[in-house]
Every structure is written in C-alpha cells, then in structure tokens.
Structure 1
Amino acid sequence: MGEQYRVVALGGAGAMGRPVVEALAGRADIAELVIADRDTAAAARLAVKYANASAATVDASDPVRLRELFRDADLVVNTTGPFFRLGVPILRAAIESRTHYADICDDWEPTLDMLAMDAQARDAGVIAVIGAGASPGTSNMLAALATRELDTVEDVHTAWPVDVPFVGDDPADGAAGGESAAVVHWMQQLSGTIRIWAGGAPAERPPLEPVRLDYPGLGAGTAYTVGHPEPLTLPMTCSIIRDSACVMVVKPETAAYLMTLREEIDRGSLSLEQAAAAIESPTAGRFARSALRRLSLRGPGALPPFFALATGVRDGRPCRIGARLIGSPRGMARATGIPLSLAAAQILDGSVRAPGVHPPDAVLDPERYFEELSAHCDPPRTGRDEVVRVDRTP
C-alpha cells in the first residue's frame, strides 16, 4: 500500500461539503477523512457511511480550534462560507499548521487577500489552491483550454448560467435556494462595485453591466457582469492585454430584477440577507420597477450556458476560441464540490508540487481535470470529450 493521508473536510456535512466527502471517501490513499462541521449530528450521520471517516465539531471562526484540527492533517478541503468572512482566517490556520489546503472561494475580495499570503505559504511549504469549485474552478479550466490556443490573448470572459437551461440543472435546487450562504454571497457580488480587468489592468466597475459576446459557431448574445475571482486570477496565468470579466448568462427579466435589488442594497434599504429572501419572494412593487427596466435589456441569445471565451491572435490572424461545458455533475452543490475533490486529488498524488497560494489554472492539469470530471457527471460520461467542447473561428 502506498502513502496514506489524513484529510480534513471543513464544512463537510454541508450542502457543498457532502459531495467532496463522497468523492474523497472512496480513495484508497486516504486513511482518515475527518468531517469537521459545527453541526455535530450531521457530521456524525455522514461519517458512519464511510469506513475511513470520522466526525469532529468545529467553529470555523475559532482559530485555536482550527489549528488544533489541522495540525496532524495532510490536507484541508474547505467548503465553509461565506468566504468574505472566513476565507482568510481559515487559510491562515492551515499555513500556521503547515497543512496543504484547497477551497471553493468565489468572493473576489478575500481572493486578493489570500493571494497576498503566497509568501507565507511558500515559507511554510504549504500548497494552497483557492477557488477550485465551479466558478471559479471549472471556469478557470475552460479558460485554460481556450487561451492556450492563442499566441496573443486580448480578452477572456468566463460565464455561468442563472436561469437558462443547462445540462447540470437539478430541479431540487429551486429558483434560488432560499437564504443560503450562496445566495447571500451572490447578493454581495451584485452590489457596490466589483473588480474586473479592463484595458490590461485591474478596474473597479458596477456589477450587472451588459457584455456583448460572440461565441464561435453558435452566435452572439448579451451577458451581465458579476463579482467573481476569475478576472483577478486569469491575468496571473496568461497575459491578457485588454479585458476580462466574469458574466452571468441570464434572461433580461431576471437581470432587471437583480438590478432593482442592487439599487436597494446600495441605498442601504435592503440587507444582503433581505435581498436573498427577496429572490424567493418578489414584491409587486419590485416587479413593476423591474418591468420598466427590462425593456432596455438584451438577452443571452445564442450564448451557451457555461463557457470561457478567449479572443486574440493565432498564426498572425484574429481568432476566437470558446470552451463550453457539455456535461456536469447535477445540481449546484455537486457541480461545486466535485471539482474541489479533483483539485484535492492532484495535490495528494504530488501532481501539484509548488508551495504557495494558487488559482486552479496555475497548477492543475486541465486535461486530467475534465477526464476525471466525466466520471462524476449525471449520468456518468466516458471521457473529456463528453464533458467539454472547444469551438474555434474558422
């Protein structure tokens, strides 16, 4: 038997954590999988399903308990949010414990703070892969496939679906999932200002700005910006000389309603939690204000639901390369948690060797990533080509 590891699944009993636990529990090289969660009963119920799992109680805001939990672990996989509150202190505890780390952070603000901890991680010999979920995560891997075909990269956009049909949809997810941490996060990233890449440099912009994109072989459509880490991390792995943003593929009526909520959040008349609740229970007044705005908005047109699109130059000619997801684990929780387990696998088997804080596309092998993702799709696929399709202008 080869080397054996102890892995801590922080938040492992939660919606995002359970798919990670399920995927990692079957690995022969994990001697102990610690399901660490503030919900002790849920962690215990999940742990009894797997021979190599145990349960632990943890408050993710307690740095002393985190260091104690991480001290004898080889790897921490973190699905505990919201990351704009917990991402930095949890990564700090992992670095101080000299424990490798991977998470699903999808907030751009703590992404910057965690990237700034790169020197600390390198000094401690810690590998940290942040934002290894769906978006960011799978989106970064799609961008890696698209940009590597260009000699010069001008623009890169990553996109994910809100209310358009997608192969990974799960009816059990509902329209918005209630006042979950994910929806509160979404409201934060649709209010205030967000960080994008514009004119070859970081820039502050309001969210929900329309972006017209022309996807090769399918056609054009309009998507809307959202605050996500990809525009901050993609320029670290390829030289983007013009623009990059993360956008939502969303119907005009939904975009209009989100704009109405954004105005109320920015005025201070609506908290993030109240805005999350208003997704599920819209009022007649907000509907009316949204209806007027909707008349001026464009829709997604021919855009696919989940993709990365890179424009630039190849062999001296202008070129557009798109990479789109055509197979996926079903539901938001699995589509986010399974990618984290794939990142963990590349850390555990030594494929990722460089200490430091990294975005996924800086250290993960995209070919292997999509090959392994195929086995976790619903229904299972048989390889990379059944999960991702790369499209090119002639």
Structure 2
Amino acid sequence: MTEPDKRTVVALGGAGAMGAPAVEVLAARGDIAELVIADRDLDAAERLAARLAGGSTPLTPYAADATDPVRLRALFRDADLVINTTGPFFRLGVPVLRAAIDTRTDYADICDDWEPTLEMLALDAEARRAGVTAVIGAGASPGTSNMLAALAARELDTVDDLHTAWPVDVPFVGDDRAQDSAVGLSAATVHWMQQLSGTIRTWSSGGPAERPPLEAITLDYPGRGKGTAYTVGHPEPVTLPRTRSVTRDSTCVMVVRPLTAAYLMTLRDDIDRGRLTLEEAAAALDDPAARRLARSVANRLSLRGPGALPAFFALAAGSRDGRPHTIGARLVASPRGMARATGIPLALAAGQILDGSVRVPGVHAPDAVLDPERYFDELAAHTDPPRGGRGEVVAVDRA
C-alpha cells in the first residue's frame, strides 16, 4: 500500500492554549507538506513557529479571523485538513465546519458543547456529498472519553447504559491546575458555567431528554463499588447513543467532592435566577462570597460523594451471551494539564485522517471512526511520564 501524499494542514487557533500542543504533535510527524498556524494573535503564531522551526514540517504563521466567512474559506481552499480549537463552539463550531464543507476540506475539532454538536451532526449529509470527513469533539471529554466508552461497550452484545466521567477536584494522574491557570482558563470556565445552568441534554429511557444539570447519578464501578457523580452538559450523551445503540440511559458526569458540588449548585441557581452572569459565576469560582459559601455548606449535607469511583472513566452496562455484564474503562495515565490533555488527542485524531486510516465522509463522533487501540497506543507516548502502550494508559475492569 502506497503512502498517501503529504498534505497541507491548517491549525485554526493553533497558537492558543489547546491549539499549540496539537501543532507540536503534528509538526513532529514528518508527513505534512505545510502546517499553517492560523490564529487571531499573529505574534503568538510567529513565536510558536519559531520555537518549532528546524524540523521536517514547514510552518507558516497566519493571521486568521474565525468570524470572517470569506477569509476563512480562502484559507481553507488550499488545505487538505483543518483542525479547529477556536471557541466558544456554540458561536464558532458550526460556521467553521460549514466553511470546511464548502471548500471540501477534512475537519477535526475539540467541541465540548452539546448544542452545536447537534447542529454539526445535522450537517452529515452535506459533508458526505462533499466527500468531507469531519470528526467533532476529539479532545479529552469528549474525545478520550468516547474512546474509553468504545473499549467498554464493544465487550457487550447490547448496551443498556453508557456513562462517561471526568474529574473536577479529585486526584488524577493528568491533573495540573497550576499549569492550566498559567495558560488561562477563563473561556473554559465560562463555558463550564453555561453547561451547569439551564437545562442539558441527556439520554434517558432510550431517548433524548432535557434535564437540569448537577443531578446525582450513583454508579457501581467493577471491582471498586458505588459512588455518586453529578451530571454536566456535554456531547457524549448526544453522540454515544447514536454510535453504541444505548437502549436505556447515557450521561456525562463530573467526579466531584460534595462541598464542591454544593457550591456549583449554588452558582447554578444564581445563574438561573438572573443573579449572576456566566462571567460573574466563573469569577466566583476563584473568589467565593461568604454568603454563597454558607448556602453551599448547608446544601452539602444532603449530597453524596464519589466514594471509590475512578477519576476519568467510561462505564457500560448491558448483556453478553444473554447474561448481564458491566464493563469499566478508566484512564490511568494522561498528558499533564487540561491544555495538553485536550490538544494532543486532537492531533492523534487528525493523524488517523491524514494517513488515510479514517476516510469515511460525513460528520462523526470520535468513537464512530477512530481506532481505539491505535489511539491509546499513541497517547501513551505523550503521557507524563511517557508510557509503553495502551496497556499502561487504560485499565478495563469487568463484572
């Protein structure tokens, strides 16, 4: 089998916190004709290109405006693949994907908003007609979480329940809040507040459901026992039921201590009642008011904690050979810090598109088209410290 020709890649938002780790991984591949670091901050794009200069991949800094549809299409027209880390995705996800489809450019992103995920999935027929392969939500959660779900669900003949979980304030090998704060978390935190207020999409009793966030979900993880986690608005309950044929329930939950969950509930209530904007709620995470804290402490008494639940996992329950089974897949090693844990998976997804392993036109969730074994084998090289393969990155637990 002949190797595919070298291709041109545009990294939209490539000099940002999430984009830069993806650019670093792609620049090291050696099979890219040109890697365009397209960012609204041209100085940052030039600094990143200078830092990575000298390798086998030509790097081109480019001043990009993701809100300008004409310039966006001009940028994409000569590219084979665009990776998108610009946000917020509820504003920019759909327009950027539309530009990629219009220019017949393959696409991958890190979208973690469930609302635009639905809109982007609705562009599947247009992408297929254009011959465009688009993988959406290929970061940490969604992304790595979807690949964990694929490992767990594939051991079952039928999947009744499929849940994904990520850590908030519990110990986790990939956690590095100091590093994250250095690159800036404000946009991500505002997004988080949005997904903790109003209503969110889950999958309940075999169909889509609108529910309030921060509902308590008790899960029984194989070999560890029961614990309680709390729902958050995320794309996994939108995409996993489509790819895994979930017959009953699917949620995305946060593994979080009771007092933190109680404080998040207080912020949620104040947002929903118009007492706080999303930005004010995000700021209140770092500088909580005494009165709000007091309300949270009172609410905390009725909340359960995570018990022995892992920090980052997928949990599938269903049947195999006519008997009930529960399968858990948990992450035991990760790139350090939220920026690298999100950007590096995007580069790995892009790699499977670039080398022709994924060549299925349409708009897809990661677990619909990516090879999970290869994904975790490659992720192992980027964990801190690097691991030798997927067996040192993921543990699969059975009951």
From 57, 74, 82, the equivalent of 1:68 is 74
| Equivalent residue, structure 2, for 1:48 | 50
List runs of 5+ in structure 2 lacking aligned partners.
Answer: none
Helix, strand or coil for the counterpart of 2:164? Answer: strand
Give the distance between the partners of 1:179 and 1:17, measured in 2 at CA. 14
Task: Select the residue among 30, 44, 49 that pairs with 1:28.
Answer: 30
**SS state of the match for residue 85, structure 1?**
helix
Provide closer, same or farther for how the CA distance between residues 174 and 75 of structure 1 changes in structure 2, counting only shifts above 3 A: closer
Distance in 2 of aligned mates of 1:180 and 1:241: 37
Root-mean-square deviation (Å): 1.3
* SS in structure 1 at match of 2:26: helix
Q: Name 2:249's counterpart in structure 1.
A: 243
Give 1:189 deviation, angstroms. 0.4
Q: CA deviation at 1:131?
A: 0.2
TM-score, normalising length: structure 2? 0.97
- The offset of 1:49, in angstroms, is 2.3
Alpha-carbon displacement from aligned partner over 1:338-383 (angstroms, at most 9, x marks no partner): 1000000000001111100000000000010000000010100000
Say whether residues 1:182 and 2:188 are aligned partners. yes
**Contact kept in structure 2, 1:13 and 1:39, CA below 8 Å:** yes
Spell out the pairing of 1:319-334 with structure 2 (5 A cutoff): 319-334=325-340
Aligned length: 393
Does the CA contact (< 8 Å) of 1:6 and 1:73 recur in 2? yes
SS in 2 for 1:134: coil
234, 254, 263: which one aligns with 2:269: 263
Cα shift at 1:146: 0.4
> What is aligned with 2:323?
317
The match for 1:15 is 17
> How much does 1:269 deviate?
1.7
Matches within 5 A, 1:61-140: 61-140=67-146
Tell me the distance in 2 between the aligned counterparts of 1:173 and 1:357: 33
Q: Percent identity over the alignment? A: 76
**Ranges of 4+ aligned residues in structure 1 off by more than 2 Å:** 173-179
Could you tell which deviates more after superposition, 170-179 or 370-379? 170-179
Deviation at 1:178, TM superposition (A): 6.2
When structure 1 is superposed on structure 2, of 45-54 and 89-98 the one drifting more is 45-54
Q: Distance in 2 between matches of 1:283 and 1:53?
A: 47
Contact 1:176 1:279 in 2 (8 A): no
- Which amino acid is the alignment partner of residue 9 of structure 1? A
Alpha-carbon distance between aligned partners in 2 of 1:106 and 1:37, rounded to the nearest angstrom: 20
Q: 1:160 touches 1:306 (CA, 8 Å); kept in 2?
A: yes
Distance (Å, rounded) in 1 between the aligned partners of 2:321 and 2:180: 46
Partners of 1:10 and 1:182 lie apart in 2 by: 17
- Change in CA separation of 1:220 and 1:177 when aligned onto 2, cut-off 3 Å: farther
1:151 to partner: Cα distance: 1.2
Instruction: Give distance in 2, aligned partners of 1:350 and 1:255.
Output: 43
Q: Is the 8 A contact 2:175 2:336 kept in 1?
A: yes
Residues 100-249 of structure 1 correspond to what in structure 2 (within 5 A)?
Answer: 100-173=106-179, 180-249=186-255
Return 44-53 or 20-29, whichever deviates more: 44-53
The gaps in structure 1 that reach 5 residues or longer are none
Q: Which amino acid aligns with 2:45?
A: A
1:141 aligned partner, one-letter code: M
Q: Distance in 2 between matches of 1:216 and 1:195?
A: 27
Question: Aligned partners of 2:184, 2:147: CA distance in 1, in Å?
Answer: 29
Give the match's secondary structure for 2:75.
helix
1:2 offset after TM fit, Å?
Answer: 5.5
Kindly tell me: are residues 263 and 177 of structure 1, through their superposed partners in 2, closer, same or farther at Cα, counting changes over 3 Å?
farther
